[in-house]
Amino acid sequence: DGEAPSVPRSLAPARKVALITGITGQDGSYLTELLLSKGYEVHGLIRRSSNFNTQRLDHIYHDPHAVPSTPRPPMRLHYADLSDSSSLRRALDAIQPDEVYNLAAQSHVAVSFEIPDYTADVTATGALRLLEAVRLSRKPIRYYQAGSSEMFGSTPPPQSEDTPFHPREAYGLFACNGVLFNHESPRRGENFVTRKITRAVGRIKVGLQTKVFLGNLTAARDWGFAGDYVEAMWLMLQQDQPGDYVVATEESHTVEEFLQAAFGYAGLDWKDHVVIDKKYFRPTEVDSLKGDSSKARRKLKWKPKVGFQQLVEMMVDHDIELANKEKVL
């Protein structure tokens, strides 16, 4: 019904409030019973349908008009949909839950092959939409996500929390997944840290600027040359069998080491030019990346041709030349 609870919260006893998506399903109905028995106020989200789909809840649902003496119904249903962000935001606003149980999904495996787009939208992006609404809520909310043993796919048993997921391989498509570690070049976008640095080196070298503002200098990355990495892409599709491959140099350097190499190559000291700006730090940071590309090296006979120092020099040379052109303009 989407309306706020009829009793002002300040007058209500301090009972926990739960929101259940997928409340009309098997687990939703049992969870509703459990939470009600623990004294929770339970709210559920339901989708619009031309048929009533609340049969599993009918024994719980009290029509507020039929039992006028009931102070408030123990369970309330609201129209919303995991495919509609604004409906989720509004529901959280109205309900102000302490706990959210996301049980809603297109949960039928066989049907997921018939409606793959819809399944991904509701099950994957839907969880993201709900989490965004939880994140933006004024009140801290505890969130439960209904995962599935289906996520293990063909990984052999026994499957635990540490077992890697192995997505099902359907249809025999020749589809490869390249897991490329950071790959750079003079054509790298200028807001990635390597190019940001080499652009700055070029402009500082020719006198067009003096400072460069950066974030976390301790992060380490496995930086390779993009030109080498596209070769790995091509090689993947030339094999007899499709496969997933990590593409990496297997060497890791910190942002500070990149600075050292880039400024040093241009005859400059990075410490004279780098200013730390908090705005470039991230909400969560991947501290260290270093790939193991042994499968690509073994099966694709791939290996990087350009090393770290050579990559830095290629980018700095290019960006000094670019800065010189800018200076003439």
Q: Which residues bind ligand GDP (CB under 6 A)?
A: 182, 191-194, 196, 214-216, 219, 221, 255, 280, 282, 285
CB 179 within 8 A of CB 293: no
Shortest spacing between CB 153 and ligand GDP, in angstroms: 27
Shortest spacing between CB 192 and ligand GDP, in angstroms: 4
CB nearer to ligand GDP: give 255 or 315. Answer: 255
CB nearer to ligand GDP: give 107 or 182. Answer: 182
CB nearer to ligand GDP: give 285 or 292. Answer: 285
Shortest spacing between CB 79 and ligand GDP, in angstroms: 40
Shortest spacing between CB 328 and ligand GDP, in angstroms: 28
Shortest spacing between CB 19 and ligand GDP, in angstroms: 34
CB nearer to ligand GDP: give 85 or 194. Answer: 194
CB nearer to ligand GDP: give 112 or 216. Answer: 216
* Structure tokens that stand for 254 in this block: 């910190």
Give the C-alpha separation, 57 to 79, whole Å: 15
| Amino acid type, 205 | K
> How many CA atoms lie within 13 Å of 304's alpha carbon, on the beta-carbon side?
28
Antiparallel, parallel or unpaired: β 253-254 and 220-221:
antiparallel
Residue nearest ligand GDP, Cβ-based = 219
Shortest spacing between CB 215 and ligand GDP, in angstroms: 3
CB nearer to ligand GDP: give 48 or 278. Answer: 278
